[in-house]
Structure 1
Amino acid sequence: MKGTSLDIKDLQLNALLEVTQAVNNNLPEDDLLKIYKFTLLADLKINKLALYTQQSGAWVCRVNFGTKEDLIGGTLPAKYKELKNQIGTVETSFNEFDAVFPVYHKSKLLSVVFIESDSKLGVQNRFLNALTNIILVAIENKRLARQQMEQEAYRRELEIAKKVQNFLFPKELPKIERLQIEAFYLPHHDVGGDYYDYIQIDENKFLACIADVSGKGVPAALLMSNFQASLRALVRQTKDLLEIVTELNHATFVSGNAENFITFFAGIYDFKSKNLEYINCGHNEIILKHGDKIELLNDGTTVLGMFDPLPFIETQRLDNLDEFFLFAYTDGLTETFNEKDEDFGFERLLEIMKQDCPEDLSDLHDHIVKALNEFKGNRSYHDDITMLSCHIQNK
């Protein structure tokens, strides 16, 4: 009897050393489970075993040997999740096993283990529990460390994207008597896929634009940064709006792999000729007020990045515009929902636009944001919101 007891202790010690060495070597999760399996087979003489752990929210079998049927991937009946720190009885579909016991780390259930053994080692539940605990705590720690690393990597990626996005927007917008431009930007996430810009082409011409990329977060922000870089490079090369949009579409088609698209509106105003050339690429209706008249600027082409070449494309020119107000926005504004699941909509926005344009365009944006907040109530915004207002007094 004494010799048998020593043999058992030697086997337990050997098993413990093997498992501890595997953990210290920082082996992958699957390798740790394989070592655990073969340690039980070779050193502890376990005939049959099924180990269940939680994976992606479900309790499934991760280690199995000796049973008539392969249990790997099978789910654990709910009643076995309620076991306390003791050996439980095995019923029906698990009647191949002698016993079942849970393995806890502090108050958290890590696994449920079913065993069957002809050896006295099979009932050494305390040691088997400890051995299982060592393996599973190591796996849990690896999972937490991996999760922490992923979160840290995402945080760094987010910081980079935010810095990149800060360079997208112009640092200053003109606020002189003949030209006032004001912008408002509210990202749904820390970074977003909306973009606006003002580019001085020459002493008489400037380009103003707004864009919205499909998707949200970091991927949308990075695609939009490529778009902005392409636009600014093209404006230095040509003043032809058709050529600019054609090349922008090609660049977006390539960088987005035809899986993402961008809605885009751009207008070039010439102070000398007093005309506005514009193109609307699948973007929302842009509002233009001159005198008592309101026009909606819709003509142009389809969204950018879905087709190359574009199936149709045209620009429009409005002449004799010496004083006017232009308002551009992204669909996060009109698609803000209230508690009745109604959207703010274009008609509500249009009613605001029919009012007199304030001297300070930021007051207009504040008024719209206030109206949005009152409309949505306790509902949260679900998309980026961008507004771009431009007031020309060229007399």
Structure 2
Amino acid sequence: MPTSDRKRESLSSLQKEVARLKRAVEELSTLNDLARSIGASLDSQQVMRTIVNRSLRAVNGEQGVITLVGSGEASDTTTLIRTQLGSSEHTKFHLDRALLGWMFLNRKPLLVDDPRRDERFRGVKFDESISSFICVPMMVKSELRGVLTVYNKKEGRGFSEDDERLLAIIAAQSAQVVENARLYEEEKQLLKIREELRLASRIQTDLLPKTCPQIPGYDIAAGTIPADQVGGDYFDFIRLDQNLIGLCVGDVSGKGLPASLLMANLQATLRGQALLTPPPKECLSRANRLLFRSTGEEKFATLFYAVLDTARHSLCYSNAGHDRPVLLRQGRPPQRPTAGGIPLGMVEEWIYEDESIELQSGDLLVVFSDGVREAVDSRGEHFGDDRAIDVVTANVHLPAQKLMEVIIGAVRSYASGSRLTDDMTLIVLKKL
């Protein structure tokens, strides 16, 4: 071989080696820069955005996406970050289900230069703007926790195997950091939920009466048993005048702090209207109008409201969509008073009905929330109305407080081994 050819060959080899070393230095610099940028952060959004931006710069891509996946389910996915460099007019790509399924099966880097001609994805419709892409898995302890995808090499060129290798290294290096940030934010969210539940429970407790009215000729008991999730149950007693006392059991929609705030709103609204308009049907119509105007969509409440006249020994009630109470009278089968209307807050205007009951010695009224009826056993079957009525009927002779405890005990025994998912709230009224 002539000396000039050998020199050219040596020069070419040297240039290739210099280029390889230069790329290696650039890759190392990219990885070190990425490690410094994300290593100290526990903000998942910031971590993800940094990873995608560094990846795009490293391989000169147009747009990048990180898709988080759940624990082992291809259907449990979240596109957490979508970032692009350059024109904002580019289509916002996302990881196709077929690609995600491929990644779940193979769990290795994927480089596609022409998606529409790739036999592995025949039949998959890709956006026409996509000319090439690289997908790399983000693995944590052999589990696929995310996928980093970069689309379209700039200047119309295709991605190289070196690009694929570098993105695979970036994904491997950053996967645990992403997982740590995700776990940290889950813990923060859990602490926030716990604090909200604590506040909700406190609001609920503070709003409930501390004692039941002591009225000659009557035996009254009331209580709330909170479930695992704080609901919107409440009960109340409202002194209207010397002889009239309002009593109610309500259940607002939702759980946690929003439900407790709605419950506080309902209690204040009802108390204000009860003092102005004693007849239950008028009170509920006005309370319904105010609640509708002061709450958002899908916010409503069921409510049983009654006024006890201790001089006339009568009870006038109206029921806004609440579970029907149980009325037991000597020598008669159990009754389920029905007068009323729809739950409060569903429509702005509604005319409620009410009904008066003349109370006699031995009469018993039990008002309860749907947490009693909807308690489930290990087979998922509800406690139901019939069981509730049977328990009340079998224990009608007991004092009000004891009867309430027996009802609660029966529900808990029935649901033994199952979580109570809704509060149980009761008022027991006996005419002595």
Alignment root-mean-square deviation, CA: 4.1
C-alpha contact 2:373 2:388 (8 A) present in aligned 1:
yes
Distance, in Å, in 2 between the alignment partners of 1:100 and 1:235 is 65
- How far apart, CA to CA, are the structure 2 residues paired with 1:333 and 1:98? 57
TM-score scaled by structure 1?
A: 0.78
Pairing 1:219-298 to 2, within 5 Å after superposition: 219-293=258-332, 294-298=334-338
User: Per-residue displacement from partner, 1:186-242 (whole Å, max 9, x unpaired)?
Assistant: 333331122111222233221111112234444333222210121223334443433
- 2:212 matches 1:173: yes
Distance in 1, matches of 2:373 and 2:232, equals 16
* DSSP 3-state at the match of 1:388: strand
Structure 2 letter corresponding to 1:38: L
Contact 1:208 1:266 in 2 (8 A): yes
After TM superposition, the structure 1 = structure 2 runs for residues 1-395 of structure 1, keeping only pairs within 5 Å, are: 1=14, 3-4=18-19, 6-20=21-35, 22-23=37-38, 28-29=46-47, 31-42=49-60, 53-55=67-69, 57-58=73-74, 72-75=94-97, 76=99, 80-81=103-104, 92-93=119-120, 104-110=139-145, 121=162, 125=165, 129-175=168-214, 177-293=216-332, 294-310=334-350, 312-319=351-358, 321=360, 324-338=363-377, 342-355=381-394, 357-376=396-415, 378-393=417-432
For 1:356 and 1:18, how far apart are their aligned partners in 2?
74
Stretch moving more, 100-109 or 263-272: 100-109
What secondary structure does 1:309 align onto? Answer: coil
Do the aligned partners of residues 48 and 232 (structure 1) sit closer, same or farther apart at CA in structure 2, a change above 3 Å counting?
closer
Task: Check 1:373–1:164 CA distance in 2 against 1; reply closer, same or farther (3 A cut).
Answer: closer
Contact 2:274 2:283 in 1 (8 A): yes
Deviates more, 1:164-173 or 1:50-59: 50-59
Amino acid at match of 1:289: L
> 1:54/1:182 Cα in 2 relative to 1: closer, same or farther (>3 Å)?
same
Query: What residue ranges of structure 2 are gaps of 5+ in the alignment?
Result: 1-13, 85-90, 113-117, 123-130, 151-157
Q: For residues 140-177 of structure 1, what are the alpha-carbon distances to aligned partners after superposition, in whole Å with 9 as ceiling and x for unaligned?
A: 33333332222222222222111111122101113565
CA deviations 1:84-135 (Å, max 9, x no partner) are 8x8899994389999987554455445567998658x458x4x654433344
- Structure 2 distance, partners of 1:340, 1:106, is 37
Contact 2:95/2:149 (<8 A) preserved: no
Higher alpha-carbon deviation: 173-182 or 301-310 = 173-182
Relative to structure 1, is the Cα distance of residues 321 and 269 closer, same or farther in structure 2, using a 3 angstrom cutoff? farther
How far apart, CA to CA, are the structure 1 residues paired with 2:208 and 2:78? Answer: 50
Unaligned runs of 5+ in 1: none
Q: Distance in 1 between matches of 2:23 and 2:297?
A: 65
- Per the normalisation by structure 2, the TM-score is 0.72
Q: Distance in 1 between matches of 2:303 and 2:160?
A: 74
- Deviation, 1:136, is 3.7
Q: Structure 1 vs Structure 2: percent identity of aligned residues?
A: 24
Q: In structure 2, what is the Cα distance between the partners aligned to 1:239 and 1:218?
A: 30
Give distance in 2, aligned partners of 1:51 and 1:313: 55
1:268-299 per-residue CA deviation (whole Å, 9 max, x = no partner) reads: 11222222221122222222334434543211
CA contact under 8 A between 1:64 and 1:72: conserved in structure 2? no
CA distance in 1, matches of 2:317, 2:63: 72
Q: 1:305 to 1:324 in 2, by over 3 A?
A: same
Give the SS at the match of 1:239.
coil
Q: Could you give the per-residue CA deviations for residues 4-41 of structure 1, whole angstroms, max 9, x where no partner exists?
A: 45423431243235434643687735532442333222
Aligned residues: 381
Letter in 2 for 1:39: R
SS at match of 1:156: helix
Q: Are 1:51 and 1:111, in contact at CA under 8 Å, matched by a contact in 2?
A: no
Whole-Å separation in 2 of the counterparts to 1:333 and 1:257: 28
Note if contact 2:302-2:321 (Cα within 8 Å) is conserved in structure 1. yes
Q: Say if 1:327 and 1:14 are closer, same or farther in 2 by CA, change over 3 A.
A: same
Contact 1:324 1:392 in 2 (8 A): yes
